[in-house]
Amino acid sequence: MPPPSAKKPKISRMTAAIIVVVVLVVAGVGGYFAYRQLTSSSSSSANTITVGMPLPLNSIIGQDLLNAANLAVSQINSAGGVNVNGTSYQYKIVTYDTEEADPSIPIANGVSGVTSLITQSNVNFLMGGYRSDVVLAELPIAAQYHKLYITFGADTGISTFVGTNYATTGKYIFNGFLNTTNQNAQYGALPVFLLQAYKERATTHFTTNITNIAVLGEQAAWTQATIGTGGTGSPLYPILKSVGFNPVYINYFPLSPAGGSYDSLLTTLAGLGTQAIYILAAGTETPLLISNYGAFNWGADTASGGVKPLMLGADVMSEYNGSSSTNNYWQLTNHACADEMTFGWGPTLPFAINSLSIPFYNAYEKAYGLNPGFADGFIYSAFFYLANAIEKAKSLSSDAVIPYLAQTNYTGPMGVVQFSSTHGLIVNLAPWPSIPAFGMQWHQDGKLYPLWSSLWTTPNFIAADTFAPGSTTSFENYEEPNGTLVGDFTVAL
Amino acid sequence: MAGILAPIVVYGTLFGLTYVLIALGFTLLFGISRVLNLAYGALYMVTAYMIYYFAVELGFNLLLSVAIAIAIAIGVGVGVFLICVRFAPDPLRFLIVSFMFALLLQYLFTKYFGGQSGLIIPGLFPVKEILIFDVSVSPVYLVTAGVALGLLIVLWLWIEWTQYGRTIRATAEDPETAALFGIGVRSIYLVVVVVSSALVAIAAVLIVPAQELTPTMWIEPFVIAFVVSVIGGLGKFKWTLPAAFLLSFSQFIVQFEYPTSASLSDIVAFGVAIGFIVVLPQGIGGIKRAH
């Protein structure tokens, strides 16, 4: 023991401050995880079916998938819930934000999300996912814990995963979104459909015979099967040739272009005499590309005669017509999307596959003030056909539910849903015989309109009044894709 | 389109000057203080989000929002620098801790802004592009190039031809001797950090309105700053201009010569940087001295 007079060791103010900060941080972090543990352990309570949803909730894409899920859950729960062996169960959703709509976000976010939902939140089933590479990394985790996982948005490689070790791991995975086994044939035909639709709607303003087409695919797993090595090595190249196009350029476009501008890429396309740009994109980088395309000066001396090329293709972001700058493509692209024709899946717009589509559209719009996004009809349907499978299995065990889910034959707003032997979605999307999509285009009034073509051989659409075939829509100060100001005109839908 | 020469010259020049603006602060700070501040790029992201926050979320006047954002970026830059100097004074630890700060800022902004997609801020300039030698050019990059050139000249005059510039150079040469002569080394460092932070913030103000905001948007400007600095010679800010031109012209020559090779221009850019580190570690600015 030191004598009473001995000096106590000094602790500097800085050291004391550091100790206090460290203690506070440790206490805070520990408390947070303790709280998470306590709250998550109660998430699978009695008479609750907990569905874990790993989604990119930091983007409009994930938010609207969650909206569709919540809409289904509220409707099912208010109608009495799910009857499991005579007992009523209520659906409950637990989410994890994987941030995966941003291509730079690592795959690990999704893996830790699924692990957390299973081990911390004790979910019964999983639904969600978006980016193919992220979902592919999540699948083994779900299978390892014997959890049924219905995926949406992602596609590439899922059927291979299911088919490779079906009995042990693959059986737990279902692809709730359109699978693209004939992806390239569809993507080859879509420009023809879109151009035909445009010609039929605006014949007096459509004079250019478009043959020179450039294909820009975002750098992502789902575009690799289509873009391949690019140029003549692309699987899409011979298909585009066979339907009458001259593919002048097929390649990936960078997610972050040099200096933050796509101008040099557009200069290359102009130099190649590009008359149409075919885009394949599902990420959040497209507003910049479309904005640059809109602002670009195509000049008077380009190989295409100084005419601005048409922009067409698959662009998930183009579906969003919300009211703010973060979810309205018209605002996001500085109005440049007026020259972009894209395709969407019903009921992104209020015309429909069957009599259930418009009610779903209306309920969604009423609840959230937005139109449903590309996979919302599918995720909405999934809660209903999962409920059917649970009721037949009389169990919440994934192993018990899987055989019944595999036999799904459900009619919802997206048509009749069934699953293939590798759990790929088989959906009867009549009246669209070969292309499960319709065309869309933003117009100068800042609204998104449908496009359809006589190439869709059975155009017996069920449409809301304002979009019904045969009705008319007026445009003010309409500007053609080549920059010509047409002025006011009315077009028959 | 007049072949590939015109777009190579036009884009090479404009983006080269844009790279100068992005890299100038980074190389200036290293030249004076001899520390690699890897949080430099994050200030670009901080500025962008702050403009968005004040102009869009709070509805402030755009120019006022820009002024506040630049002030905040300077504040963050100075704060990070002082913390690093205090707790990680040797160059290696400074490098590591400043990089940690960049990631910390990225995650803070991801959490606060939810990493939302679709965040854009109104631009200060018209978006419709104009033709220069039949090449479409955004007014944003014309203004950015002009500002970069102007700031480079002002900075050069300040460092080379003013009394304060001489004290800065003296500090850069030998801070201990400078201190013996009564030069306030600490205040010199602070002034340089303020200027460096302001430069990257100005780059963000000019360039970001053409882009969507993401918490990872700092990585690309940081990489550009780093590569330009390596090519020019770390710390030799006078060589920033030729280094930036070497990078941008090599990128665009490759891009227009091999238009279907998606990532080849970036590969070349990094190849050039690695080549300089191996063959000419002092960069372009070291050639004369070496001879």
Q: Is the N-terminal amide bond of A431 cis, ω within 30° of 0?
A: yes
CB A412 within 8 A of CB A384: yes
Inspect the interface and report whether the beta carbons of A58 and B129 lie closer than 8 Å: no
- pLDDT for res A15: 60
A182 band by pLDDT with thresholds 50, 70 and 90:
low
How far is A493 from A469, CA to CA, in rounded Å? 5
Distance from CA of A57 to the nearest CA of B (A): 8
Give the model confidence (pLDDT) of B103-129 as tens digits: 999 888 877 776 566 677 766 666 788
Give the model confidence (pLDDT) of A67-114 as tens digits: 999 999 999 999 999 999 899 999 999 999 988 877 667 788 889 999
Q: Report the candidate in A376, A380, A348, A366 with the shortest Cα–Cα distance to residue A467.
A: A348
How far is A257 from A278, CA to CA, in rounded Å? 18
pLDDT of A270 higher than 90: no
Inspect the interface and report whether the beta carbons of A301 and B2 lie closer than 8 Å: yes
CB A128 within 8 A of CB A61: no
Inspect the interface and report whether the beta carbons of A291 and B256 lie closer than 8 Å: no
- pLDDT for res A214: 94
Amino acid symbol at A161 = F
Chain B neighbors of A231, CB-CB under 8 A? 260
User: CA of A330: how far to CAs of A42, A91, A334, in Å?
Assistant: 43, 36, 6
Average pLDDT score over residue span A254-277? 84
- pLDDT for res A463: 47
pLDDT of A42 higher than 50: no
pLDDT of A211 higher than 70: yes
CB B96 within 8 A of CB B102: no
Q: CB distance from B57 to chain A under 8 Å?
A: no
A196 band by pLDDT with thresholds 50, 70 and 90:
confident
CB atoms within 10 A of CB A9: 6
Q: Closest partner residue to A256 among B2, B127, B220, by Cβ?
A: B220
pLDDT of A480 higher than 80: no
Name the percent of chain A in helix, strand, coil, to the closest 5.
40, 20, 40
Can you read off the two tokens belonging to residue A207?
A: 């004079």
Amino acid symbol at B141 = Y
- pLDDT for res A3: 43
Segments in B208-236 forming alpha helices (H): 219-232
- pLDDT for res A119: 93
Q: State if pTM tops 0.80.
A: no
Tell which of B112, B117, B206 to mutate to test the A interface (max A CBs under 10 Å): B117
User: CA of A331: how far to CAs of A278, A324, B52, in Å?
Assistant: 21, 8, 15
Strands A425-428 and A415-419, by their bridges, are: antiparallel
Inspect the interface and report whether the beta carbons of B114 and A58 lie closer than 8 Å: yes
CB A318 within 8 A of CB A338: no
Distance from CA of B126 to the nearest CA of A (A): 9
CB B37 within 8 A of CB B101: no
CB A292 within 8 A of CB A270: no
Chain A neighbors of B263, CB-CB under 8 A? 254
Distance from CA of A96 to the nearest CA of B (A): 13
Q: Where are the beta strands (DSSP E) in B47-174?
A: 130-132, 135-137
Average pLDDT score over residue span B179-205? 91
Q: Report the candidate in B241, B253, B246 with the shortest Cα–Cα distance to residue B272.
A: B246
Give the model confidence (pLDDT) of B48-85 as tens digits: 999 989 988 888 998 999 999 999 999 999 999 999 98
Q: Report the candidate in A257, A368, A262 with the shortest Cα–Cα distance to residue A311.
A: A262
- pLDDT for res B141: 87
- pLDDT for res A474: 52
User: CA of B133: how far to CAs of A35, A304, A347, A408, B139, in Å?
Assistant: 64, 17, 47, 62, 15
Distance from CA of B288 to the nearest CA of A (A): 30
Distance from CA of B131 to the nearest CA of A (A): 7
CB atoms within 10 A of CB B68: 18
Give the model confidence (pLDDT) of A295-304 as tens digits: 888 875 555 5
Tell which of A22, A102, A263, A304 to mutate to test the B interface (max B CBs under 10 Å): A263
User: CA of B200: how far to CAs of A273, A350, B16, B21, B183, in Å?
Assistant: 38, 47, 15, 7, 27
Contact partners, residue B20, CB within 8 Å, separation at least 6: B148, B149, B152, B228, B240, B241, B244
A64 band by pLDDT with thresholds 50, 70 and 90:
confident
Can you read off the two tokens belonging to residue B105?
A: 């800022």
Tell which of B136, B214, B252, B258 to mutate to test the A interface (max A CBs under 10 Å): B136
- pLDDT for res A362: 86
* Choice between A431 and B14, residue whose per-residue pLDDT is larger: B14
A-B contacts at Cβ under 8 angstroms: 138
Q: Closest partner residue to B262 among A99, A251, A291, by Cβ?
A: A251
User: CA of B41: how far to CAs of B95, B105, B219, in Å?
Assistant: 13, 11, 6
User: Measured over all CA atoms, what is the biggest interatomic distance in chain B, rounded to whole angstroms?
Assistant: 61
ipTM over 0.85: no
